[in-house]
Amino acid sequence: MARTIGIDLGTTNCCMSVFEAGHPVVIPNAEGRHTTPSVVAFTADGQTLVGEAAKHQAAANPKGTIRSIKRSMGTDLVLEIGENRLRPEDVSSLILKKLRADAQAWLGDEVGSAVITVPAYFTDDQRQATRRAGELAGLNVLRIINEPTAAALSFGLQKSVDQTLLVYDLGGGTFDVSILEMTGGVLRVVSTAGNNRLGGDDFDRVVAGWIAARFQEQTGRSLDGDPAAEQRVLEAAEAAKIELSDAEQTVIRLPYLATGESGPLHFEAALTRTEFEKMTAHLVHATIELLQDALTAAGMEPYGFDALLLVGGSTRMPAVRAAVKRYISAPVAQGVDPDECVAVGACIQGGILSGDVAGMLLLDVLPMSLGLETVGGGFETIVPRNTALPVSRSRTFTTAVNFQPGVDLKIYQGESPVAANNRFLGKYTFTGIRRAFSGAPRIEVTFYVDVNGILNVTAHDLGSQKELNLTVDCTQPSKAGEDGRPAEGTAQAPSREQVEALLAQAQAQLDRLDPVRDYGRRAALEAAVAKTKKALHGKDLNAALFFGDVLRHELARPDEPTPKPEKPRRSLHLPWKK
């Protein structure tokens, strides 16, 4: 019978696990290691390399090497390398194919199914893309589960007592924090928060920027436009970051980094842990802000936890561990390998589904609110964030124009009251509505979110009884719609223009806030604006995109700290374009 494995499909590295003799076991890859680099390369002689082989040749073949593809999952990105045209899920499927082949070789048996983990803050389209990648690799994807939840499952299997856990998961490309309660073998997620563009890669880029700046100071030579040199610098930055987790100082040496008028140019400089921590302090601070967000959503204080789980290789950095331990009063869980526990948890979930693991049940939550755009560009939440899954919620809408023949269902995910500020998931047209004056038709829209966090939508005209059923699938490329937004099934990667639009929104909001009454709110927004502008002016688009996410998070916060009472159900207008 075909086996089921658990897969941690990471931004930087992947790991896999399987149940053997009633216990989870980490599966080594063909190279004998427990983790596989998430790197794919296409060579000049037509070879496709995955894992260690791809990583080792990256400096010599930077244009043919793909790294950190996880950050682009669910977008309409198309990579063109030679004759290859690849979407992010195509690249991820190549990684999953290697993992599957390595697992089959080690097990001596067929691998047919998998439980695959994703960041807790992955959107619906990113989850769909991950499922599609698994299917392209020949896997039956039994479940998509959140990485912090998987880590908690791994820890929970060791502990039979009731407890409250906080999982701080800082991986290579994403960050999540989740609060969970375990009672009587039931693991329930209380709240979650995160940023899909914050991880160890960002620490590497900060150091890489420092190296490039120092090199230019020393030699007068810029490394811009030199892909091979930039790749070597990035690799050296990652190595320095890792070394500074154990040492107080490291020496970065890059011989023959470039060529000048007088011949080869070399780089050598010492970097202390203190300097490294100072230049990356804003990244650590951003994770603590999101940790606070998760606590607020759960209605909890930073104390009262039974255990703190530090997950992801980036949590090995001393500054990260110190910042979390300063803020959260809880013992750090022992016996949890930050690189392997997520894959182990995925394997345990597979065991729960197959019946191999008894006495455990997982109840996860929706990471971000789901809803529809209404007339005027507003966002009506149908399923709020941190709602337990699976869930079904309905709202009744009506028409805005007399004899309106149909409505546009524009689906978004996020927390802003303005639809355009949230993640666009798709647009679907529901036609054939009974002709009537505006406000007369009643259209019931139901959102059903399954245990994988994937959305299914039903629209039901209560007058004509016509019904539309669909699954929001944003994994297929399509052209932009007439209104300039992506057409159905398309998600766009962040751009400089979007960051500049966020800055304009932030400035407008600052103009409305009272300098005295809203002092704290203004200070947070002003700090986010200043950092975003600095990154843009410095032409560091990656940093600008990161601070843009921070800025988006600030803009989505309510102006008043006290929650508003829940509004009674009512009919709302849906937009329609003639």
DSSP assignment of 303-316, as one string? B--SEEEEESGGGG
Tell me 11's DSSP state.
S
Is 8 a catalytic site residue? yes
Is 202 a catalytic site residue? no
Residue 446 DSSP SS3: strand
d(CA 3, CA 108): 10
Cα first-last separation, the chain: 56
d(CA 535, CA 524): 17
The tokens of 289 are what?
A: 């802000």
Q: What is the dihedral of CA 270, 272, 273, 274, to 10 degrees?
A: -150
Which among 76, 89, 124, 169 is annotated as catalytic?
Answer: 169
Which among 8, 201, 238, 373 is annotated as catalytic?
Answer: 8
Place of tokens 């006290």: 562
Q: Which residues contact 142 (CB under 8 A, 6 or more apart)?
A: 4, 113, 114, 115, 350, 353
Is residue 421 a contact partner of residue 378, using CB atoms and an 8 Å limit? no
Is 55 a catalytic site residue? no
DSSP assignment of 325-371, as one string? HHH-BSPBPSS--TTTHHHHHHHHHHHHHHTSS-S-EEE-B-SS-EE
Which among 76, 89, 102, 147 is annotated as catalytic?
Answer: 147
The tokens of 54 are what?
A: 């791809």
- What are the residues facing 426 on neighbouring strands? 411
Which among 55, 70, 427, 531 is annotated as catalytic?
Answer: 70
Is residue 344 a contact partner of residue 43, using CB atoms and an 8 Å limit? no
Burial letters for 29-65: b for 16+ Cβ neighbours within 10 Å, e otherwise?
beeeebbbbbbbbbbeeeeebbbbbbbebbbebbebb
Place of tokens 């709110």: 521
Q: How far is CA 538 from CA 277, 282, 461, 478, 532, in A?
A: 21, 16, 53, 33, 10
Which of these, 427, 367, 398, lies nearest to 192 by C-alpha position?
367
Is 169 a catalytic site residue? yes
Catalytically active residues, by annotation: 8, 70, 147, 169
